[in-house]
Structure 1
Amino acid sequence: MLRIVDARTGRHVEIPAAPRHLLRICVHLPVIDDGIGAVHLRVLLLGDVLARTAELHGVQALTVLTAPDLPQEERQALDRVMAVLGIHPPATVRAHDPSATPSARADVHVLAHGADQQDGVDGVRIDVGQVGTAPPDEGGPGSPDAAVPEADPLALRMLLLGHAYRTPVMVTGAALAEARRTLRHWRQLVADWAQEPSRPIPADLLRRAHAALADNLGSTAVLDILRSVERDADVPAGAKFETFAHLDRVLGLDLAREVGHQYQVTP
């Protein structure tokens, strides 16, 4: 069972309520004034991680995206950004006034912190922390749209997952570079471990990782677990591969991207 802090009460709530086996998620996109910004991406990412976590725990998830009525160009840009960040497309997209009462029934409503929106008539409310971007002269990506790095867009995903979803995040060039380095390093390790005999994930390790995700989507704790697994000489290489591959089902960092590539022979 997943436990999420309801932003309205500050208390943990178990979702979905038994005996249902379908988690209904409604992601509310903030107003888009100057293009798609990092805060929009973080709201979408949180909905994606929630759905992935539910499915990892054997609960089917259905995501509805409510957004301002966007011109076709912005809608296409939104689709492209979701694709490069590994965000699964929602089952339904509905045009909706962000300041109005949520119209979609849901177990969980995901909104940007401070959104000028009345509480939904049902379901848990998750408030996602704000995202800032440092200007180029301070090592940042500049405009909000530029927060998605061209070299490896998933670096932004990793950077955001490295912070509790309620805390504000500052996206800087240095932070994105560090996330890119970690992704390259992990992908190479996963490719190397894939050459070794497969081994089961240690039961205690699997239990801790699942518990972290089930407790308010603890992606930061999961990343810490992966760092400890990387360094743990007592965990066989094959078990490390299975651990990284399994948890990447939620993290969505494409950690197995390099598997087999280093042994390909160019004709």
Structure 2
Amino acid sequence: MLRIIDAHSGEPVDAAPARRGLTRVEVHAPGSDTTNLRVLLVADVLVRALELGGTPVWALLTGGRRQAELRADAAALGIRPFEDSPDVGAGLGEAQVVHVVTEGGAVPEGVRIAVAPVEVTGPGPSGGERREAGRSDDGSADLDLPLGGAAESDPSGDGFSEPSPPSGRTEEERPVGQCAGSDPANGQSGDSGPLGGGVDPTVLRLALLTGHHNTPVRLDAGVLDEARATLARWRGAVARWARQPSRPVPDEVRGRLREAWEDDLDVPRVLDELRRVENERDLPDGARFETYAYADRLLGLELTRDLGAPS
């Protein structure tokens, strides 16, 4: 059973105390900086873990005026959309309410997951080092996110799309490599991001997942290069393993994976288990493949993306 450490009490709490009972995951992200994006990513992993355990989930996002930019960058990272809910009141009789919030953020009554901040460092417009630290009055930072591509909006009218930024430019018109929150017309940085260039969103997702959610994360070129190399190696290996006869995930491996993510969403332990499986000499390749595909239901790293690609 998934248990998380309540940031308010410091005690472990069942994320789904009633069998098949609804858990409401409410995300509080008032800004559009990388730390707020990490809050959504932690909530996305929480929802995935609950669903893997058979728990129905109601996922909601409450935020500030920059929610459109945050949602666009979240979509680029493979974070599934959260319902827009400024005031959910008593909800639908859920068995548990879990609030996911930035470290030190205030939330209503309920279990709280506090997400530690992200420090982004890299070359700024003039070539000197740039650091994501300053925040505006609404709690958001005026720095670009290091994503490599224009964001997408949702015209379906289901609450995912938001009004255009103040400059009048739509999200679709945002230049490639320039991320949410960047608007030269309003005095915000218009360069290609705090790391000086576009980054594969899945690489950024892995980089943000390498640290436990209660531990600060530092993003720089070295961290992203390591994440990029790991993803390339794993995707190539998964594509090779897929050519061998399938074998089930070994019970002990499945147990270690579930034990890791059910222990306060310990994703770094999940990644360590994948490294162990990668190097386990006696494990059939078909079992390695199924293990990575199984773990990716939690991680969302598109580890099977290169299946069928030329060697």
Same fold at TM > 0.5: yes
Task: Give the number of aligned pairs.
Answer: 246
Residue 231 of structure 1: which of 264, 279, 298 is its match?
Answer: 279
Deviation of 1:37 after TM superposition, in Å, equals 1.3
Determine whether 1:94 maps to 2:81: no
Contact 2:147 2:199 in 1 (8 A): no
Pick from 84, 101, 122 the counterpart of residue 135 of structure 1. 122
Deviations 1:21-58 (A, max 9, x none): 3221000113x3xxx21101100001000000011111
Which residue is equivalent to 1:69? 65
Which letter maps to 1:120? P
- 3-state DSSP class of the match of 1:18? coil
2:104 to 114, 119, 136: 114
Preserved contact between residue 2 and residue 216 of structure 1 (Cα < 8 Å)? yes
Aligned CA-pair RMSD: 2.1
Of 224, 232, 248, 1:184 maps to: 232
Corresponding letter in the other structure for 2:116: G
**Which residue of 2 is the match for residue 17 of structure 1?**
17
Unmatched 5+ stretches in structure 1:
97-101
Would you say the 8 A contact 1:66–1:95 is kept in 2? yes
TM-score, length of structure 1 as denominator length: 0.86
Cα shift at 1:114: 1.8
Aligned to 1:199: 247
Residue identity in the other structure for 1:262: P
Identical residues among aligned pairs (%): 41
8 Å CA contact 1:21–1:60 kept in 2: the answer is: yes
Cα offsets for 1:152-183 (capped at 9, x unmatched): 11111111111010011111011011101100
Q: Is the 8 A contact 1:139 1:172 kept in 2?
A: no
2:51 matched to which residue of 1?
Answer: 55
3-state SS of paired residue (1:27): strand
Q: Does 1:44 align with 2:34?
A: no
Higher helix share: 1
Equivalent pair of 2:23/2:55 in contact (CA under 8 Å): yes
- Counterpart contact for 1:141–1:147, Cα < 8 Å: no
Matched, 1:147 2:146: yes
Give TM-score, length-normalised by structure 2: 0.74
Which deviates more, 246-255 or 105-114? 105-114
Q: What amino acid does structure 1 have at the position aligned with 2:279?
A: R
Distance 1:24 1:63, change over 3 A: same
